[in-house]
Each structure stands twice: as C-alpha cells, then as structure tokens.
Structure 1
Amino acid sequence: MNSVWQRLTLSDLPISQWRVASYFYRLVGALGQWREGSWLLQWADPLGAVLISLVLVLAPFVPNPLIGVLLVAAGAYWVLLTLSENGKPGITPIHLLVLLYWGIAAVAVAFSPVKAQAFSGWLKLTLYLLMFALSARVLRSPRLTSWITTIFLLVALVVSIYGVRQQFFGAEQLATWNDPTSPFADDPRVYSYLGNPNLLASYLLPAIALSAAAIFAWQGWLPKALAATMFIVNSACLYFTDSRGGWIGMVFLIAAFLLLLYVWFRSRFSPFWRIWLLPIVFGTLAALLFVAFLFVEPLRFRVLSIFAGRQDSSNNVRLNVWLAAIDMIRDRPLIGIGPGNEAFNRIYPLYMRTRYSALSAYSVFLDTAVETGLIGLSCLLWLIAVTVDRGVSQIRRLQAKGDPQGFWLIGAIAGMAGILAHGAVDTVFHRPEVNTLWWLMVAIIAGKLAAETEDGAGEVKEVEGYEVIKG
C-alpha cells in the first residue's frame, strides 16, 4: 500500500531521467554564456524576489490590469532566467503536475465552444503559473523566503487594520451581502481595500497561517510579539467580514496548522502527551467555539444560516448555481468548456435557473470541472495531494535538522487548507488577490523541495538566512 502511495505522489519519480528525455528541458541554459557576462543577473534571485514582492504589495490596492502587467513581467523574467540557467532549475514533481494542468487547460481551449473567451482565461492561468514558477525558484533561498513572507505579512497587517477600523467606525456597504430577511441584514461587513468581505476573508487566510508560522520561525521576543499581533489582528478582521466561507476556511486552517505543529514537536513529548495532546487541544477548541456559539448571537445566527438550506437567500443562490454547474459538467464531462470566468459567463446563461446569474460556479472544484472537465479536476486533486505529501515530508526533514524554515511549510499547507475550504463554497479563485497567494503557498513547498533535491543549490543554503527580523 505504501508503494502505491509513493507512486501516486511521485515520491520516487526519477527527475534526472525526465530531464534527459525532455525536449523542453533542452532549452534550459541556451543563453548560459550570455548570463556569465551579465552584471545584472548576478542578482537573479533577489530581482525575482522584488518582482514577487511588488505583486504582493500592490495586489490589495490597485486595479487588476496593473497586477496583470506585473505578472507578465514576472513571467518574462522567469523565462529569461530559465533560458540562461547555468545550474539545475529545481524541477520537482509539483512542477511537473503544474505543467500537466497547464497542458490540460490548453487542450480545453482547443475544444472549447467559446475559444476566444477560453483563450483569454488560459492566458491569465498561464500568468499565475509563471508566477508560481518564479516564486518556487526564488523561495529555495531561506533568506528570500523570510523576506517575501515578511513583506506579505506587513501588507496584510495594513489591510487588516483598515478592516478592523471599518468595524468600529463604519463603512459604506457596497452591495447587499446579507440575507435581506435576516434580523442582522443591516449589520456592516468589513471589506477593507478589497471591496468585498468574502474576498477579504480569503485573502486573510494565508496571512493568518503565515503569521502563526512566524511566531515560531522568527527569532527574538519582539519579532514574535509582532507575529502574534499580526495573527490576532488578521483573525479579528476575518471574523468581522462575517464570511461564513471564510470562517469554514479558518476552521480547516487551524486544524491543519495544529496537526502539523504536532508532527513538528511530537518527538519532544512524553508517551502520555503523544496520545492525549491532540484530543485535549481539539476538545478545548471545540468547547470554546460552542460557548461562543451559545453566547454570541450574530455568530450563532450566521453559523445556523449555513444549515438553513434554501431558506437563506445566499444559500439558495449557491444551490441553484451549483445545480447549473453540474448540468454543464454532465454535458462536457471530460475536458470542459475552457478556463476562465469569461468562458463560464458565455456558457452559463444556457443552463442557469431564472434570476440566478453568477460569475462562476461558487466552488473551485466545480469551477475546475466546468472549465477543464473531470480530467482537469483529477489533475488538480493530484497536484494538491502531491504538494501536501511532499510538504509534510519536508517538514519532517527540516524538523530533524532543527531548521525553523519548516514552520513556513506548516503555514503554507495550513494556508492552502484554508483557501481550499473557503474556495469550495465561494467565488474567490478568479481574483488575482487570492489566486496569487494560492500559488505562493504551493511555491513555498515546491521551493523547499527543490532546495533539497537539486545538488546545485549552493547559494540557497545560506547561514541562518531566516533571521530577517532580529530581536
């Protein structure tokens, strides 16, 4: 059984043999001689980190077209680095599955009934995947990993502070986000700079996961206090969004983080605590949530509304869109209609129930099946399984070495769990503010895996490079 799982997760995949047989890989290093004489590319990875940081810094504040321009620049820069690569580019099983998913999406475009719209969506997907490729390369470096995560956490703190301010000082509600029949229909929902509370909630999930990781990864009491403050403010802002999908994502995030934290510290526990620690911790958290459910009326009402079925207007919309999406999948089950919300918007009106328009399927899994068929959905699930499996293996390896870089992997996997849980019931993946963060989480894991598997990553293994913030 273990052998089957290893094959499924590509644990024993001979990457070196793939490189030898790959026509694509032969392009790597084509401009190697030019790079040797380039003064600018002596700083190749730091320059890549600057491009990634610009995307993370500007994403919550600027229009999407500007983020698109930055993604184009990041993608072009990755192509340049790859063509001029003198060492090994750090290919991992995660990279291969990302490439496979991109290829499936390209095939979906070829067979799409709305090829122009599907091609536009495929171009956007390509930009996100190129950012993943650049991020995975840059994040092999412990120092640059700490730099990029710190920048993202500081930006997220600004976003969260403004959201908390909206809760206490009020903010104009830009849309009808609450069920109009609800007794809390007039309650404000914060949206900060992102303009939508559900989008804000999904944006904050990786920030919460990485700020929790920073509590353990950063050295010194002052940095740890800053990380704890970030975690508290981000969590409070997410609560104030009143996003039920965001709250569900938070539950999955905390569960994943605690489980992985247990994996990290397990060897230090006595036999008693190895058995009983998790039941005690999860039992205590469940008790606290139950007490909050009993005594916080708005929280109780929002949680109960999840199970209200069609009696809640938001639930009713989602149920109708999900049923229409299932009909779309049934008609084109293998390869879908093509990637992107533009293709969805052209085909969905043929299936939608009266008065229930939608920009996407309100679920990342249904969206994927609609756009790239069951083949694309299977590839996505395979990618998630391999990423988590490889991430856990790297956590164990770094724990054995006592390397605090492992905490960033814990945060990345927990952030993925939170985004996926939220994305399963909401439309968030078509927005660059969230999509870029999803691929950043995947890239953190791929980068650490590449740092281990590639022999030519000498510049990656810097001395205590994680201590970006010192007490």
Structure 2
Amino acid sequence: MVVESIKKKEAILPIGLGILFSIIYYKLPLNYFAITLLGLVGIILILYDIRIGVYAGIFIFPFMPDMLNLLFMIFMVAVYVYKSLFKKTQPLTKQPIDMPIVFYIIIIIISTITSIDPTGSFRDLAIHLTSIGFVFVIVNSIKTKKDFNILVVFLVISATLVAIYGFYQFKVGVELEDKWVDAVNNPDVKTRIYSVFGNPNIFAEYLIMIIPISLSLFWFSKKIHKKAIFLITSLILILALVLTLSRGGWIGFAFGMFVFVLLIEKRLLLSIIPLGLGAIYFLPQTILNRIASIVNFADSSNDYRIRMWKITLDIIKDHWLVGVGFGHLPFKQTFETYIRTMPTFHAHNTYLETMAEMGVLGFIIFIVFIFTLFKYSIKKLLKGKDNYIKTMAIGVLSGLAAVLAHGAAENILYIPRIIITFWILVGLVLALMRISDELPEIS
C-alpha cells in the first residue's frame, strides 16, 4: 500500500505538467507555445544549475533587446539569492577590488539622486547595477578553470557569430549614414559594418574587448585543432574590426595588442612592430585614407569632437564638484543649454563624460576602481604559477585596456550591451581571482 501511494504521488507532477502544457498549447499559437515551452525548460535548467544560465546569458546577450537582457540578469540574481537562502553555497568571494566597486556603486546612486534629471539618470543606474549584479553571479558561480573556459569559449563563439553577421552586411552593402564618415576626406568609403549594434564605433568597442580573449585561447591551446579554431575566430573578429572603419577602435585595438604582447611575451615586440609597419603597404587605399584621417583636424568628425570636448570642459568648470547627474540624459540636457546647434547624447570621451556627469569625486572613484583592478590583477594573477589563469587574465586585461583607450574618443559606458560587456570582463577578472585563491598550493 505504501509503495502504491508513493507511485501515485510521483505520478502527480508529470500528469499536472501534461495538463498545464495541454492548456497552454490549446490557448497559444504554435510559435508562442514553443517559446513558452523553451522558456520553462530554460528556467528549470537554470534552477538546477545556475551555471547554465550564466553560459546562456553570455552567449545570447549581443542578440537580445536591452530590456530582455536586463530582465534576464535580474532573474539570474534572483536565482542566486534563492539558491543561497535555501541551499548550501560557498561563501561570497572577497577581493581587494570589491571596495572600489562598492564606492563606485555608492557614487552613481548619489549622483542619480542629486541629478538635474533623476528619472533620466535612473536609466543608466539600472543598467550598471543590473550588470554588476550579473558580475556577482558570475564570480560566485564560476568556480573552476573548466567552468571559466566554457564561459569564455561561449563568449568568443557568440562574438564570432556577431562578426559573421557583419560580413553579411558588408556583402549586401548596408546604408552608410552621413555622420559616420566625412565623404570629402574619405570618398572611397561606401560601407561600415555594425552587425547587431547599430553603429560601427559601438561594434568596434565590443570587438576590441573580445579579440584579446580569443587570442588568449589560441595562445594557451596545446592541441592543433583548438589552436586552429581560435586562430580562425581571432582572424574573423579582427577582420570585422577592420571593416567597421572605426579609427577609435583601431587605436584601442593597437593599444590592447601592445598590452597583450607586453604581458604575454615582450620579446615579440621586436618582431610585431616591424611586421605591423610593413603591413601598411598591403592595406587598401580606403583603409590608409581612414588611418591618415586620424590626425586630419579638418575631418568633420574630428572637428565635431574637438568642439564637443571644449563645451564639455565648460560644463565641467560649472559643475566640477558633483556634476550634472549620472547618465547621458542629464548630460544631453545640460549640453544643449550651452549650444543648440550641436545635438548630442554624450561627450565622445569617457573621461570627460564621467567628470561632467559625476564631478571630480566621481571621476576619482572611477579612476581608482580601474587602477585597483589592474594593479591587483597583475599582482595576483600574472605573477602566479598557473599558466592558464595567467594567459586568460592577460586576454581579459588587454580587452579592458583596449576599450579604455577607445574611451578617449567615445563614451564607452553609454550603450547597454557595451556596459554589460565591460562589466562581464570585470567579472571574468574577479572569477579568475577566486579560482586562483582556491587552487592548491604548490610547494
């Protein structure tokens, strides 16, 4: 009797789910039913193993609408909190970089409250806090080198698919907006690819963060087929970067590669610099003209940025202590009170933008956060004995260095998917620190 009772109870769940799915199938069109079914299966899998959600989030975020990305990351934080409350989990990681991140969170909250447009500031605050929450999940869910490797492979594969879609745009010849290029100085430029990012400069910001990670996977791989795979992904990503024709992206990439080579094998500098200079002779004229326009102050894009920076400096002088408020909307509103003939969304410079938004104090906290991240990463990860951790840390830090260099010509913390990518790389660094802490001591 007891056995029969247990069997009856065990049958309740599948029967109940069968009835539920039958009702959903009856009420919804087939495509919505399939989406609902996949969503429910995904939720069950994530509740079973939160790493599945982390891998999925890393893979799909470039392709997802911004709101869905934020909702998914909030869901992931909720799942982690649920599992922490009801299941035994490892204690939270603690690193020296934690406090600068905490201070950064505090300052952006304060800057939102004191903003000239708190509602507008909340948009950027929500994106940053949600992204940092996802970092929290990554750091406390990715606990082994195997977990980490799966994560970065998903990241690189996703970026490669994004780049391939960019190649399709190049083939069909997507429309080139006037503001993307000075037609007088670049008459041969007909197409700039942007893939899923809507703007070639933003696409370049994404690519230069991922390329060094792909190169790290290539560098570390011992098996020839893995080396071939990651060489191909690296070349695809680099070619996509070239086709963005983003001058700021190229400069950021060059700086990131300098950091990569300097950290991974500085002796390569002796050969890579001459090879890079020699490659200039084989570049198409379109690319050469675009490179030459970097120092051409008559170029409309360069002239526009210089005028914008001068006005932003005026804003900083008038709001030097606390800034106008966190996020691009308070900056936009303030900027347009200084000049109405130059509508803009940001200052096209991350550091001027940060100071204009959050004042001197916010700028100092941001710089301290970046400095501390690099300082302790180099001290802890690059001087360690584990070659995998060292190699991957070099890739992640080089990606961050590249996008921070690009920040001299663009506001890199403006578009949600770029903000998410930036914080994911910070999460990768922190995850490597935790994994390094838990490795057995080598005597």
What's the offset of the Cα at 1:290?
A: 4.5
Unpaired runs of 5+ in structure 1? 1-42, 264-276, 462-471
- For 1:280-429, what aligned pairs fall within 5 Å after superposition? 280-292=270-282, 296-309=284-297, 311-351=298-338, 353-398=339-384, 400-401=385-386, 403-429=387-413
Deviations 1:320-363 (A, max 9, x none): 22122212211121221221122222222112x34211111111
Offset, 1:315: 1.1
TM, length-normalised to structure 2? 0.82
Residues 347 and 353 of structure 2 are in contact (CA less than 8 Å); yes or no, is this contact kept in structure 1?
yes
Show the counterpart of 1:164. Answer: 167
**Paired AA for residue 364 in structure 1:** T
Matches within 5 A, 1:22-61: 47-61=49-63
**Residue identity in the other structure for 1:246:** G
List per-residue Cα deviations over 1:394-429 (Å, max 9, x = no partner): 33344x24x313211111001001111112211332
Provide the rounded CA distance (Å) in 1 between the counterparts of 2:225 and 2:263.
Answer: 25
1:444 counterpart = 2:428: yes
State the Cα distance separating 1:176 from its structure 2 match.
4.0
* 1-structure distance, mates of 2:82, 2:95: 20
Distance 1:46 1:450 in 2: 23
How far is the alpha carbon of 1:185 from its aligned partner?
Answer: 5.9
Q: Letter of the aligned partner of 2:98 in structure 1?
A: H
Native 8 Å contact 1:52 1:135 kept in 2: yes
* Counterparts of residues 48-447 of structure 1 (less than 5 Å): 48-80=50-82, 86-173=89-176, 176-184=179-187, 186-262=189-265, 277-292=267-282, 296-309=284-297, 311-351=298-338, 353-398=339-384, 400-401=385-386, 403-447=387-431
Q: Contact 1:109–1:118 (CA<8 Å) still a contact in 2? A: yes
Displacement after TM superposition at 1:90 (Å): 0.7
How far off is 1:79 after superposition? 4.1
Tell me how far apart the structure 2 counterparts of residues 92 and 443 of structure 1 sit (CA, whole Å).
12
- Let me know the Cα RMSD of the aligned residues: 2.7
Q: Percent identity?
A: 23
More moved, 99-108 vs 160-169: 160-169
Q: Is the 8 A contact 1:408 1:444 kept in 2?
A: no
Amino acid at match of 1:434: I
The answer to whether the 8 Å contact 2:212/2:395 transfers is yes
Secondary structure at the aligned position of 1:190 is classed as coil
Q: Which moved more, 1:169-178 or 1:129-138?
A: 169-178
Quick one: distance in 2 between partners of 1:449 and 1:248?
Answer: 29
- CA 1:45–1:253: 2 relative to 1, 3 Å: farther
Tell me the CA shift for residue 448 of structure 1: 1.9
The alpha-carbon deviation at position 139 of structure 1 amounts to 3.5
Check whether the contact 1:217–1:405 (CA below 8 A) recurs between aligned residues.
Answer: no
Q: How far apart are residue 53 of structure 1 and its match?
A: 3.0
Deviations 1:259-282 (A, max 9, x none): 11027xxxxxxxxxxxxx255134
**AA partner of residue 402 (structure 2):** G
> Which moves more between the two structures, 84-93 or 416-425?
84-93
Alpha-carbon distance between aligned partners in 2 of 1:388 and 1:377, rounded to the nearest angstrom: 17
Q: Tell whether the 8 Å contact from 1:78 to 1:133 is kept in structure 2 after alignment.
A: no
* Kept in 1: contact 2:197–2:203 (CA 8 A): yes
Question: SS of the counterpart of 1:60?
Answer: helix
- Provide the secondary structure at the position in 2 that maps to 1:145: helix
Counterpart amino acid of residue 424 in structure 1: A
Matched AA of 1:327: D
Q: Return the letter of the residue paired with 1:220.
A: K
Alignment check: 8 A CA contact 2:351 2:363 kept: yes
Shift of 1:160: 1.1
Greater relative CO, 1 or 2 (CA 8 Å, sep 6+): 1
After TM superposition, give the deviation of residue 231 of structure 1 in Å.
0.5
Shift of 1:289: 4.8
CA displacement at 1:83 relative to structure 2 = 5.6
Q: Distance in 1 between matches of 2:50 and 2:365?
A: 28
Task: Note closer, same or farther for the CA distance 1:130–1:281 as it changes in structure 2 (3 Å cut).
Answer: same
More helix by share: 2
Q: Return the alpha-carbon distance in structure 2 between the equivalents of residues 223 and 46 of structure 1.
A: 30
Q: Secondary structure at the match of 1:405?
A: helix
Deviation at 1:86, TM superposition (A): 4.7
Residue 174 (structure 1) shift: 5.3
Match in the other structure for 1:27: none
Sort the Cα spacing of 1:140 and 1:97 in 2 relative to 1 into closer, same or farther, 3 A.
Answer: farther
Aligned partners of 2:181 and 2:48: how far apart in 1? Answer: 44
Please say if residues 105 and 339 of structure 1, whose CA atoms lie closer than 8 Å, have aligned partners that are also in contact: yes
- Give the Cα–Cα distance (whole angstroms) in 1 for the partners of residues 408 and 48 of structure 2: 35
Alpha-carbon distance change, 117 to 219 in structure 1, aligned in 2, over 3 angstroms: same
**Superposition map of 1:6-25 within 5 A:** none
Distance in 1, matches of 2:169 and 2:404, equals: 27
Measured against aligned partners, the alpha-carbon deviations of 1:80-112 in whole angstroms (never above 9, x if no partner) come to 456666542111111211111010111212322
